[in-house]
C-alpha cells in the first residue's frame, strides 16, 4: 500500500473498529430486551385475527341481522349497564367484519381499561374483559411497556433507539460490501461451526436490518415523545404544525348528544365509514370520529374529524385522501411499524423480522464467547511462556 494511502486506511480501520465495538456491546447488553420486543412484536402482527378467534370462542359466533343499530342507542345501553361503576367512557371501535362485535372501551381512575363487546345489530351486551389481564393486553403491555408502566414505556423507547443504532452499525460492518456474493452466502458444507454461526448472523442481519431500523425509529417516535419526532417531521417538511384542537365549554350547557355530533361528522366527510369514536375526557376535550374513505388502504382509515363537543363545530379535519406533507409521513409510521404497508406478504415477513433479534443475539453471543475464549487462551499461553523464560 502506498504511504499516502496509509493514513486513510488507518482512519477507516479505526472507524470500523468503533462501529464493531458499539455493535457488539449494545447487542450483548440490550439483547434480551430486543428479543422481548421482537418476539412479542411477531405475535402482535396477527393479534387482531388471533383475538377475534379467542372472542368468538368465548362469546360465540355473531350472525348479521340487518343494518347495525344507531351508535347513540348502543352507547346509551352500555352506559346504563355500567353506570354503577366508577368508569370513564373512552372510545368505541367498529368491527371490520360483519361477524364481529363492537368494542366499547371504559377507563378507570387508575388508567385500567375495560373492554365491552356489543352485538352491533341488536345492541345486546355480549360480555366484557379487563384489557390488562387478557392475553392481548399482556402481550401489548410487555411489548410497549415491559409491564412496567411509564418507566417501561421509556425503557422500550430507548430499546427501539438502540435497535436503530444496531441496524445501522450492522449494515456498515456487513462483509458483503467487499464482495456482494459473500455477504449473502452461508457455507454449510465442510465448514467449522464458528463459520456457520458467523454466516447465519451476517445473512439474518442484512436481510432484516432495514426493517429493524424502521421499526426501531417508529417505536422510538411513539414511546419517547420528548424526542419531538412529530415536530421534527413538520419542520423538515416545512408544514406548519396545527394547534391542539379544543372545545369551548358553554356555561350552563351540556355537551351535544352523540347522535348530533355523529350527524355533523358524517356531513363533514360523506360516503366514509366510521371506524372508531374517541370521547372527550374533559370539558375542553374534543369529540373525535375516525373514518375510512373507500380509497384508503389503512384498516381504520386516516381521516379524522374533531368536533367541539358543545357547539358541534368541526375544529380540525384530517383528510386521509389529501394529507399534507407531514401527515403523509406520520400516517405511515403505524403501517411501517407493524408491517401492514404491503398487505399479507409484509405481515408474514414482519413475523420473521421479529424473530431475527433472537437469532442475532444467540449467534452474536456465540461469536463473542469464542473470541473471549481465544483471548483468554492467548493470555494463559503468554503467561506460561513468560514463566518458562525466567
Q: What is the pLDDT of residue 285?
A: 97
Distance CA 66, CA 103 (A): 19
Q: 236 forms bridges with which residues in the sheet?
A: none
Per-residue pLDDT at 197 exceeds 50: yes
Per-residue pLDDT at 40 exceeds 50: yes
- Non-local (6+) Cβ contacts of 75 within 8 A are 89, 92, 104, 258
Residues in the chain: 390
The average pLDDT across 332-351 equals 95
Q: What is the pLDDT of residue 390?
A: 42
Distance CA 136, CA 133 (A): 8
pLDDT digits (tens, 9 = 90+) for 253-301: 999 999 999 999 999 999 999 999 999 999 999 999 999 999 998 888 9
Burial grade of 364 (CB within 10 A; 0-12, 13-18, 19 or more): buried
Q: What is the pLDDT of residue 299?
A: 86
Q: Which cell is 97 given?
A: 367484519
For residues 310 and 249, is the Cβ–Cβ distance under 8 A? Answer: yes
pLDDT band at 372 (very low <50, low <70, confident <90, very high): confident
The average pLDDT across 351-367 equals 96
Q: What is the pLDDT of residue 388?
A: 46
Q: What is the pLDDT of residue 66?
A: 86
Positive or negative, the CA dihedral 196, 201, 202, 207 is positive
Q: What is the pLDDT of residue 10?
A: 52
- How many helices (H) and strands (E) would you count in the chain? 12, 8
Which H/E stretch holds residue 274?
A: strand 273-278
Q: What is the pLDDT of residue 13?
A: 61
Q: What is the mean pLDDT of the chain?
A: 91
- β 273-278/88-93 pair status: antiparallel
For residues 351 and 240, is the Cβ–Cβ distance under 8 A? Answer: no
Name the nearest CA neighbour of 259 among 70, 386, 106: 70
Amino acid at each position: 500500500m502506498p504511504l499516502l494511502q496509509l493514513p486513510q486506511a488507518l482512519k477507516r480501520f479505526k472507524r470500523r473498529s468503533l462501529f464493531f465495538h458499539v455493535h457488539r456491546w449494545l447487542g450483548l447488553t440490550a439483547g434480551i430486551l430486543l428479543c422481548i420486543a421482537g418476539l412479542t412484536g411477531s405475535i402482535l402482527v396477527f393479534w387482531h385475527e388471533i383475538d377475534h378467534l379467542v372472542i368468538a370462542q368465548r362469546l360465540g359466533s355473531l350472525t348479521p341481522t340487518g343494518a347495525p343499530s344507531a351508535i347513540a342507542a348502543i352507547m346509551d345501553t352500555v352506559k346504563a349497564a355500567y353506570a354503577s361503576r366508577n368508569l370513564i367512557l373512552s372510545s368505541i371501535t367498529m368491527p371490520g367484519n360483519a361477524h364481529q362485535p363492537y368494542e366499547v372501551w371504559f377507563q378507570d381512575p387508575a388508567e385500567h381499561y375495560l373492554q365491552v363487546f356489543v352485538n352491533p345489530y341488536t345492541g345486546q351486551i355480549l360480555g366484557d374483559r379487563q384489557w390488562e389481564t387478557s392475553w392481548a393486553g399482556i402481550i401489548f403491555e410487555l411489548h410497549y411497556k415491559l409491564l412496567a408502566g411509564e418507566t417501561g414505556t421509556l425503557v422500550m423507547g430507548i430499546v427501539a433507539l438502540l435497535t436503530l443504532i444496531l441496524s445501522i452499525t450492522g449494515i456498515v460492518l456487513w462483509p458483503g460490501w467487499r464482495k456482494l456474493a459473500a455477504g449473502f452466502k452461508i457455507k454449510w458444507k465442510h465448514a467449522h461451526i464458528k463459520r456457520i454461526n458467523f454466516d447465519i448472523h451476517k445473512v439474518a442481519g442484512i436481510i432484516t436490518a432495514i426493517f429493524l431500523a424502521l421499526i426501531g425509529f417508529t417505536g422510538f417516535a411513539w414511546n419517547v415523545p420528548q424526542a419531538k419526532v412529530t415536530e421534527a417531521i413538520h419542520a423538515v417538511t416545512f408544514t406548519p404544525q396545527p394547534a391542539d384542537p379544543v372545545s369551548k365549554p358553554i356555561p350552563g350547557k351540556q355537551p351535544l348528544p352523540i347522535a348530533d355530533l355523529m350527524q355533523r361528522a358524517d356531513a363533514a366527510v360523506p360516503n366514509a365509514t366510521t371506524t372508531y369514536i374517541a370521547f372527550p375526557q374533559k370539558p375542553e376535550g374534543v369529540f373525535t370520529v375516525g373514518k375510512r374513505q373507500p380509497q384508503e388502504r389503512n384498516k381504520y382509515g386516516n381521516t379524522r374529524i374533531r368536533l367541539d363537543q358543545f357547539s358541534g363545530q368541526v375544529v380540525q379535519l384530517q383528510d386521509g385522501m389529501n394529507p399534507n406533507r407531514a401527515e403523509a409521513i406520520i400516517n405511515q409510521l403505524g403501517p411501517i411499524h407493524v408491517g401492514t404497508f404491503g398487505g399479507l406478504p409484509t405481515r408474514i415477513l414482519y413475523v420473521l423480522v421479529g424473530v431475527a433479534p433472537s437469532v442475532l443475539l444467540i449467534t452474536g453471543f456465540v461469536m463473542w464467547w469464542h473470541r473471549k475464549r481465544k483471548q483468554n487462551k492467548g493470555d494463559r499461553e503468554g503467561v506460561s511462556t513468560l514463566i518458562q523464560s525466567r
